[in-house]
């Protein structure tokens, strides 16, 4: 078959002059900087149309479906966001009901807004001490479906941002027994099917629609994703229609070529590439697991979190029991060791390993974590001497007080439920009602008891901790203040200082 990325490369060397879009006219001197203008075209003869694929793009999408074992696959150049919006819109009628995990990405909540949907939330299990979301319980899914017979679809995130995989197979069977489809946001699991080292993809576990971000874990450009249709429980015509609604009418051929090149490379060499990658990853994990203060987490360290499987390409470094928090570890790795991590959280830092990693990169990470762990061991040793009353070590060490205070604080939060952001909130209004109602701005501390007209979420990963229409609680306000004190990034509120919040006007 013809490959889009090769056809673009070939075309870039031909002498066709473009009296069509884009405005750069494939002229690299039309702007400063280096950009792939020579391959950035529009829907010209021979290059098909993503919104009405009949040739090379249809074949490319069919190839993606064969690779993943889906009935049909759709390219998305608007990332997983457009695919999620399309899947929800196709599966649930406007104004309908959906059962969804509360830790879904903000794009799911945007679908609720755009389609005026009524959600029933199912909360993931959680390890409050580590501050990590666990999996979704199939039993809870079944109970929710029994109690809400008008639900039209179930949507969960698996794997989570942290690599936690739910029992998709059992959840799918439960959903199907109630006559509804299962949509799985598998944005972080596009690599699963290329190695048995990783969990089984939701495509092979009975899900009806699966969304994957290629750019997150595979060698593809940012903003590239796939939507896999795996059954006839959701109409393919509706999926295609809504993909046309939520995607740009001028899809980037550079991005589509990136998807095509990624699929071609992995189809030909993926098994060998992943064999080398997983070997390097396993060696890295074995080495990092020897650290005792900055601990590399594994599934067996997370208690009572309904974990069905775990993606070991996610490198979670816990700071629990050390003298630093997640934000501080993130800063040290970036400023001192020049390692850019994926995410900082309250009690851990997340690094993502992919097939694109080099041995040199993984070695640098190991060296950095080992050095920080060594420093923490020295601090712990000093604290042991202090507790024993060794006279030559000051008893009034600020580092000791900080570490002791942090540990006491964690124990307190675990008892009160403050150690986890996804607290249960009371939904007083539907999202569209709250977003479109007259609003008034209040200082955050004075907003308790009122109805939010704004989202609030930690970014990354962009999962709302407050949704429009929910009643603001004192615990939410305390959590916000704690995140700000720790240097975490809170987004969503129209006041970027997070000092005030917009609420529904009484």
| Residue keyed to tokens 């569209």 | 432
| Residue keyed to tokens 């604080």 | 409
| pLDDT tens readout for residues 363-397 | 999 999 999 999 999 998 887 766 666 444 333 33
Domain residue ranges of the chain, discontinuous segments joined by +: 277-408, 431-504
| Residue keyed to tokens 């993130």 | 330
- Per-residue pLDDT 10s for the chain (506 aa) are 999 999 999 999 999 999 999 999 999 999 999 999 999 999 999 999 999 999 999 999 999 999 999 999 999 999 999 999 999 999 999 999 999 999 999 999 999 999 999 999 999 988 888 888 899 999 999 999 999 999 999 999 999 999 999 999 999 999 999 999 999 999 999 999 999 999 999 999 999 999 999 999 999 999 999 999 999 999 999 999 999 999 999 999 999 999 999 999 999 999 999 999 999 999 999 999 999 999 999 988 886 678 999 999 999 999 999 999 999 999 999 999 999 999 999 999 999 999 999 999 999 999 999 999 999 999 988 877 666 664 443 333 333 334 444 444 444 444 444 555 567 889 999 999 999 999 999 999 999 999 999 999 988 888 999 999 999 999 999 999 999 998 888 999 999 999 999 999 98
Q: Write down the architecture of domain 277-408 according to CATH.
A: Alpha-Beta Complex (3.90)
Read off the tokens for 469. 């229409």
Residue from 166, 215, 210 nearest 185 by CA: 210
| pLDDT tens readout for residues 124-176 | 988 888 888 899 999 999 999 999 999 999 999 999 999 999 999 999 999 99
Angstrom distance (rounded) from CA 138 to CA 118: 21
Q: What b-and-e string marks burial along 80-90, b requiring 16 or more CB atoms within 10 Å of the CB?
A: bbbbbbbbbbb
Angstrom distance (rounded) from CA 494 to CA 506: 19
Phi/psi of residue 342, nearest 5 degrees: -75, -45
- Measured in residues, the chain has a length of 506
Out of 3.40.50.1970, 3.90.100.10, 2.60.40.10, 3.40.50.10800, which CATH number does the structure's domain 431-504 have?
Answer: 3.90.100.10
Angstrom distance (rounded) from CA 395 to CA 399: 10
Give the number of other CB atoms < 10 A from CB of residue 261. Answer: 19
Concatenated DSSP letters for 264-284? HHHHHHHHHHHHHHHHHHHHH
Phi/psi of residue 217, nearest 5 degrees: -130, 5
What angle is formed at CA 353 by the lines to CA 213 and CA 256, rounded to 5 degrees? 30
Read off the tokens for 286. 């074995």
Same topology, domains 277-408 and 431-504? Answer is no
Angstrom distance (rounded) from CA 223 to CA 242: 18
Read off the tokens for 58. 């249809």
């Amino acid at each position: 078959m013809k490959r889009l990325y090769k056809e673009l490369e070939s075309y870039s060397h031909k002498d066709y002059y473009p009296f069509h879009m884009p405005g750069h006219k494939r002229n690299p001197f039309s702007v400063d900087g280096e950009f792939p203008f020579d391959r950035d075209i529009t829907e010209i003869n021979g290059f098909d149309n993503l919104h009405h694929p009949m040739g090379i793009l249809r074949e490319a999408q069919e190839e993606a479906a064969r690779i993943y074992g889906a009935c049909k696959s759709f390219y998305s150049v608007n990332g997983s966001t457009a695919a999620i919006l399309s899947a929800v819109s196709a599966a649930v009628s406007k104004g309908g009901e959906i059962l969804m995990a509360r830790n879904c990405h903000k794009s799911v909540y945007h679908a609720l807004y755009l389609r005026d949907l009524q959600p029933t939330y199912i909360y993931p299990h959680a390890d409050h001490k580590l501050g990590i979301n666990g999996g979704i319980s199939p039993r809870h899914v079944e109970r929710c479906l029994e109690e809400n017979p008008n639900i039209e679809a179930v949507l969960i995130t698996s794997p989570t941002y942290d690599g936690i995989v739910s029992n998709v197979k059992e959840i799918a069977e439960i959903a199907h027994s109630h006559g509804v489809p299962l949509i799985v946001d598998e944005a972080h699991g596009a690599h699963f099917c290329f190695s048995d080292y990783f969990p089984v993809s939701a495509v092979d576990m009975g899900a009806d629609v699966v969304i994957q971000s290629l750019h997150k874990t595979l060698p593809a450009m940012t903003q590239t994703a796939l939507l896999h249709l795996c059954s006839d429980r959701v109409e393919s015509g509706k999926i295609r229609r809504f993909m046309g609604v939520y995607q740009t009418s001028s899809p980037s051929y550079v991005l589509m070529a990136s998807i095509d090149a990624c699929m071609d490379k992995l189809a030909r060499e993926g098994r060998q590439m992943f064999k080398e990658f997983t070997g390097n990853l396993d060696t890295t994990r074995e080495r990092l697991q020897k650290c005792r203060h900055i601990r590399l987490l594994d599934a067996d360290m997370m208690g009572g979190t309904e974990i069905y499987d775990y993606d070991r390409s996610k490198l979670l470094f816990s700071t629990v029991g050390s003298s630093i928090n997640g934000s501080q570890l993130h800063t040290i790795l970036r400023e001192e060791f020049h390692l850019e991590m994926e995410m900082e959280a309250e009690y851990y830092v997340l690094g993502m390993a992919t097939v694109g990693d080099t041995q040199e990169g993984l070695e640098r990470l190991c060296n950095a974590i080992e050095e920080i762990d060594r420093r923490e061991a020295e601090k712990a040793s000093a604290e042991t001497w202090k507790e024993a009353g060794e006279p030559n070590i000051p008893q009034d060490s600020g580092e000791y007080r900080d570490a002791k205070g942090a540990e006491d604080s964690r124990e307190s939060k675990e008892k009160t439920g403050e150690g986890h952001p996804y607290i249960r909130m009371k939904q007083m209004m539907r999202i569209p009602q709250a977003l479109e109602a007259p609003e008034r701005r209040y200082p955050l501390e004075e907003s308790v008891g009122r109805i939010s007209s704004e989202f609030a979420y930690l970014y990354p990963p962009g999962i709302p901790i407050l949704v429009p229409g929910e009643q603001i609680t004192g615990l939410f306000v305390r959590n916000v203040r704690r995140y700000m004190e720790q240097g975490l990034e809170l987004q969503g509120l129209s006041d970027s200082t997070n000092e005030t919040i917009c609420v529904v006007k009484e």
